[in-house]
Amino acid sequence: MVKNRCYDADCDKDNCHNPEHYNYICFDPNCDEIKCNDSDHYDKQLLRDYQKNTDLSVYDHGEEIDYDEDVDISLCGCPDCADDHDHDHDHHHDHSHDHHEHDEDDSCSDESCSCHDHDEHDHHDHDDVDISLCGCPDCADDGHEHGHGDEELLAEGKPLIANRPIQIIVSSGILFVLGHVFEWLSFSPAVVTIIYMLGALIAGYEIAVLAYNSLVKRHTVGPAMLMCVACVASFIIGHPEEGAAVTFLYYIAEFLEDYAEHRAKRSIKSLVEIAPETARVKLNDSEELRNVDDVDIGEIVIVKPGDKVPLDGEVVLGSSSINQSSITGESVPVLKETGDEVFSGTVNEDGYLEIAVTKKAKDSVISKIVTLVKRSQLNRSETESLVEKVAKYYTPIMMVAAICVALIPSFVFGQNLVDWVYKALSLLVISCPCAFLISTPVGMVSAITSATKNGVLIKGSTYVEEMRDVKAVIFDKTGTLTEGKLILSDVEVLDENFSKEDIIRIAASLENQSSHPIAQAIVNYATVNGIKFSEINDFKNVPGKGIVANIGEEQYYAANESLIEDGSFEVSRDEINRYSAEGKTIVFIGNSKNVLAIITVSDKIRPNAHEVISDLKEQGVQTIMLTGDNKLAAKSVASEIGMDYVYSNLMPEDKLNILDTIRNKFGDVAMVGDGINDAPALARANIGIAMGAAGSDVAIETADVALMQDDISKLPYLFTLSRKTMGIIKQNITVAIAVKLLCVILAILGIITLMMSVGFGDLGLTMLVILNSFRIGMVKDPLF
């Protein structure tokens, strides 16, 4: 058999440049033709030169994650949000965070750290979630929530009116209305002004504190200072009702912003609360209730019906249905029996289980999910960074414009000073950038937390944004498009000196040293049928080709076509084609003289694979399948699923080459694999997507997006979520800019009042942006 240079198993040319054998996708990075017919472009040297002369490290984004690191979340990411915790935000995406340090006995030296409220400060405690949606200087204050301090914004179990922010809004609102009533009833102007002043003081006290901290501590002028100036100036020029309205409406706007942040915190804290705090540990014939952090690896924990699994482990006794929706997003219970893996936070529905602990609490899957969701805020999208840069200049420009509006018409053209100062005050309150700043991060947080609850772990808002731009998705066949549970199908003996049992013994003895799914299928067949293995030596694994080893004095191999291509062995091409057409993978068993037998293994295509691929194609995404199988077997599977392109006869290193080729031809590429064998390709792709990540630490760390369940059905949801999120964020930004500009024009023309400027330009806009972003959480899986 002759060695193939292309991806066609039937081609015997040593240096094939036939476009059809390459799916008509050439290697020339400068060729714009999707279906290229120029045979000169199929010289692989073109790709090698491109890879040699191009810095492809920009695409490599794998990272080692320190799960012991205490991660604080700050969605704004700007310098203004460097608060008293000394968080060091870098706008160049270096994300270097100088967190407060703990000494060796794990006692925290930071007085503001919530760990002082506990007897222990351990890594299992993820409650200290610090989220700041807005990047303005005022939002960099201690405790942030605009004066609420450590008090919860809206305490659970309390009547709404019992919460301090609501009391401030209600009391200030009553005084604001009362002032208008007294004014209508012709009360003394002094009395009316006092009523308005009381309302302004109640709502404006916390705003004034923010303004003071911004000016004195950080030497910046924030929106709170502008509101204070507008309020005081309104009283001075004889518009007390406007001054009261400014503080009242601005306080409501800031409350809504705090509420959005509160929801974001609760979304992440709800993940923390999935895992129970205690575990029943079995001690001989009794049991002991312990904190999960005190349970060691190897100890046995008891899980009764209705209880949550306290720690990751392996079932050693009993069987039960486990609801894994908290990890995988799949609500259908999964039967777990002896030897099966279970995860912390999942629910035991109906049986008694004893579980051997395999991971400490801080290393559990749910603990890592929480850490990664918190770390996801460090990988900020380009849109967020752009919005922050624009907002950085927006407020100063508006302040200069307000000064010009107040002074130029009056001193240059002799216009009424009070009238133009009033219009300038409207510009000041419009200059508050908060609604514009939260337009992006509130949407990103909603998308990431919603995806996590649906079993999709997205490791940064940058990946939410990039998913929208993906033009092609590359799938590894085994374990991704197929179930990865290979079974031995056929054994065709070609040498009459060997029996079927002899062939299985030779094959299983060779494959017993390998972890490849094909090897496991052969070994399992031999084990089930009671066939004993022979002792081997001089074992050699040839990547992408097969195995060679000695049994006794004779050398044997178990290989695919590529290992025997250069030999003089004669194998019936009709036999190979017959099995390949059925989608079966062929393994040749032979010795130094002959091919002794053909063994085939088969893998079941995932039931929803065709539906997933169809949905992706409807969304305009190209689909590509990679496999080490020969062309006919690969074509059979690809045709049944409906793939656009298929590459066969691949060596491991070919995956990176094809990924670069596809990216040059179509644009941004996503790679879907198991996160272990495909780690280099996942890291090189624009978006690396790992499947079945709940059972694999490597998959969680390698991929940008992890599908916690071993199921590709979440891919259409992922694309839909990305496009919906970016669409809503685009709406938020567009509306914020349009409303601000409209208010500026109307304010200068004197059409809107100061009260209307705050009501529409800040409060109304903030409410609109937040409510619109909440729609992201309602995105449904298009397949269900």
Mean pLDDT within 36-58? 88
Distance CA 551, CA 574 (A): 30
Report in angstroms the alpha-carbon separations of 233 from 195, 226, 406: 17, 10, 12
Mean pLDDT within 761-768? 86
Both 598 and 612 in one domain: the answer is: no
141 vs 399, residue with greater confidence: 399
Sign of the CA dihedral running 674, 679, 681, 683? positive
Single-letter amino acid, residue 721: L
Single-letter amino acid, residue 293: D
Distance CA 552, CA 39 (A): 49
Mean pLDDT within 56-69? 66
Distance CA 418, CA 400 (A): 18
**Going by DSSP bridges, is the β-strand pair 622-626/645-647 parallel, antiparallel, or unpaired?**
parallel
Report in angstroms the alpha-carbon separations of 108 from 84, 112, 126, 609: 15, 9, 15, 50
Both 548 and 625 in one domain: the answer is: no
Single-letter amino acid, residue 111: E
Say what the pLDDT of residue 78 is: 36
pLDDT in tens, 519-532: 888 999 999 999 99
Give the containing element (helix H, strand E) for 399. helix 382-413
Say what the pLDDT of residue 526 is: 92
Host domain of residue 595: 487-602
Closest CA to 173 of 155, 153, 192, 196: 196
Backbone Cα Rg of the chain: 33
Say what the pLDDT of residue 503 is: 93
Highest mean pLDDT range out of 183-187, 471-475, 654-658? 471-475
Residue 97 domain-assigned? no
709 vs 38, residue with greater confidence: 38
73 vs 502, residue with greater confidence: 502
What does pLDDT average to over the chain? 80
Say what the pLDDT of residue 152 is: 66
Distance of CA 650 to the CA centre of its chain: 30
CATH number (domain holding residue 302): 2.70.150.10
Single-letter amino acid, residue 49: D
Mean pLDDT within 722-728? 93
Distance of CA 176 to the CA centre of its chain: 45
Say what the pLDDT of residue 699 is: 62
Distance of CA 495 to the CA centre of its chain: 54
pLDDT at 302 over 50: yes
**Going by DSSP bridges, is the β-strand pair 334-336/320-323 parallel, antiparallel, or unpaired?**
antiparallel
Closest CA to 315 of 291, 288, 296, 342: 342
DSSP track, 677-735 = TTHHHHHHSSEEEEESGGG-HHHHHH-SEEESSS-TTHHHHHHHHHHHHHHHHHHHHHH
pLDDT-based confidence at residue 38 (cuts at 50, 70, 90): very high
pLDDT at 120 over 50: no
**Going by DSSP bridges, is the β-strand pair 546-551/554-559 parallel, antiparallel, or unpaired?**
antiparallel
Both 637 and 707 in one domain: the answer is: yes
Residue 286 domain-assigned? yes
Give the containing element (helix H, strand E) for 207. helix 189-212
Say what the pLDDT of residue 690 is: 85
Report in angstroms the alpha-carbon separations of 574 from 19, 496, 580, 596: 25, 20, 10, 17
* 583 within 8 A of 489, measured Cβ to Cβ: no
Single-letter amino acid, residue 693: A
Distance CA 437, CA 77 (A): 11
Both 564 and 623 in one domain: the answer is: no
pLDDT-based confidence at residue 195 (cuts at 50, 70, 90): very high
Report in angstroms the alpha-carbon separations of 213 from 127, 137, 145, 172: 27, 9, 14, 23
pLDDT in tens, 485-506: 888 988 999 888 899 999 999 9
Single-letter amino acid, residue 621: V
Distance CA 388, CA 383 (A): 9
Domain count within the chain: 3
Other beta carbons within 10 angstroms of residue 373's beta carbon come to 25
Say what the pLDDT of residue 70 is: 55
Closest CA to 95 of 74, 112, 125, 64: 74
Closest CA to 422 of 433, 410, 406: 406
Burial class of 496 by CB neighbour count within 10 A (0 to 12, 13 to 18, 19+): exposed
pLDDT at 40 over 70: yes
Count the residues in the chain: 784
Both 569 and 638 in one domain: the answer is: no
Residue 98 domain-assigned? no
Listed range (56-65, 456-465, 725-734) with the worst mean pLDDT: 56-65
List residues bridging with 782 in a β-sheet: none
CATH number (domain holding residue 570): 3.40.1110.10
Mean pLDDT within 245-260? 85
Say what the pLDDT of residue 60 is: 72
E strands present in 414-536: 456-458, 472-476, 487-493
Both 588 and 571 in one domain: the answer is: yes
Closest CA to 379 of 291, 458, 273: 458
Say what the pLDDT of residue 220 is: 77
pLDDT-based confidence at residue 94 (cuts at 50, 70, 90): very low
Highest mean pLDDT range out of 180-194, 332-346, 665-679? 180-194
Listed range (130-134, 256-260, 614-618) with the worst mean pLDDT: 130-134
Mean pLDDT within 318-322? 90
307 carries an active-site annotation: no
Predicted TM-score of the model (pTM):
0.71
Percent of the chain with pLDDT over 90: 26
Say what the pLDDT of residue 613 is: 95
pLDDT at 3 over 50: no
Residue 285 domain-assigned? yes
Both 624 and 685 in one domain: the answer is: yes
pLDDT at 727 over 90: yes
pLDDT-based confidence at residue 101 (cuts at 50, 70, 90): very low
Mean pLDDT within 644-662? 86
Distance CA 743, CA 757 (A): 6
Residue 37 domain-assigned? no
pLDDT in tens, 350-405: 889 999 999 998 888 888 777 777 666 666 778 888 887 877 777 788 888 888 99
Both 639 and 566 in one domain: the answer is: no
Helix 765-774, helix 714-748: angle, nearest 10 = 170
pLDDT-based confidence at residue 150 (cuts at 50, 70, 90): very low
CATH number (domain holding residue 639): 3.40.50.1000
Mean pLDDT within 290-316? 92
Closest CA to 361 of 425, 452, 290: 290
Other beta carbons within 10 angstroms of residue 610's beta carbon come to 15
Report in angstroms the alpha-carbon separations of 159 from 154, 167, 447, 593: 9, 11, 30, 86
Distance CA 226, CA 234 (A): 12
**Going by DSSP bridges, is the β-strand pair 705-707/456-458 parallel, antiparallel, or unpaired?**
antiparallel
**Going by DSSP bridges, is the β-strand pair 705-707/347-348 parallel, antiparallel, or unpaired?**
unpaired
Both 650 and 683 in one domain: the answer is: yes
- Structural domain ending residue among the three candidates 576, 602, 628: 602
Question: 3-state class of 248 per DSSP?
Answer: helix
Distance CA 58, CA 76 (A): 25
Single-letter amino acid, residue 104: E
Distance CA 606, CA 617 (A): 18
Token pair 């506990």 in the structure block, residue: 118
Listed range (255-259, 612-616, 686-690, 716-720) with the worst mean pLDDT: 255-259
Distance CA 343, CA 310 (A): 8
Say what the pLDDT of residue 117 is: 42
Residue 495 domain-assigned? yes
Listed range (14-18, 147-151, 331-335) with the worst mean pLDDT: 147-151
Q: Which of 28, 83, 363, 476 is catalytic?
A: 476
Q: Could you tell me where the DSSP H helices lie in 512-608?
A: 517-528, 561-564, 573-581
Listed range (103-117, 126-140, 367-381) with the worst mean pLDDT: 103-117
pLDDT-based confidence at residue 84 (cuts at 50, 70, 90): very low
Distance CA 354, CA 303 (A): 6
What single-letter DSSP state applies at residue 57?
G
pLDDT-based confidence at residue 779 (cuts at 50, 70, 90): confident
Say what the pLDDT of residue 698 is: 64
Say what the pLDDT of residue 329 is: 59
Say what the pLDDT of residue 168 is: 93
pLDDT-based confidence at residue 668 (cuts at 50, 70, 90): very high
Residue 707 domain-assigned? yes
pLDDT in tens, 542-594: 776 788 899 988 899 888 776 555 555 566 677 777 787 777 888 889 888 88
* 628 within 8 A of 4, measured Cβ to Cβ: no
Burial class of 672 by CB neighbour count within 10 A (0 to 12, 13 to 18, 19+): buried
141 vs 686, residue with greater confidence: 686
Both 641 and 561 in one domain: the answer is: no
- Structural domain ending residue among the three candidates 575, 602, 629: 602
List residues bridging with 287 in a β-sheet: 282
pLDDT in tens, 209-238: 988 888 888 777 778 888 888 889 889 988
Output the six-digit token pair for 357.
């602990």
Closest CA to 308 of 338, 252, 347: 347
Both 286 and 352 in one domain: the answer is: yes
Residue 69 domain-assigned? no
| Sheet of strand 320-323: strand arrangement | 334-336, 320-323, 347-348
pLDDT in tens, 437-475: 888 888 888 888 888 888 888 888 889 999 999 999 999
Distance CA 442, CA 772 (A): 10
- Structural domain ending residue among the three candidates 311, 340, 363: 363
Both 571 and 627 in one domain: the answer is: no
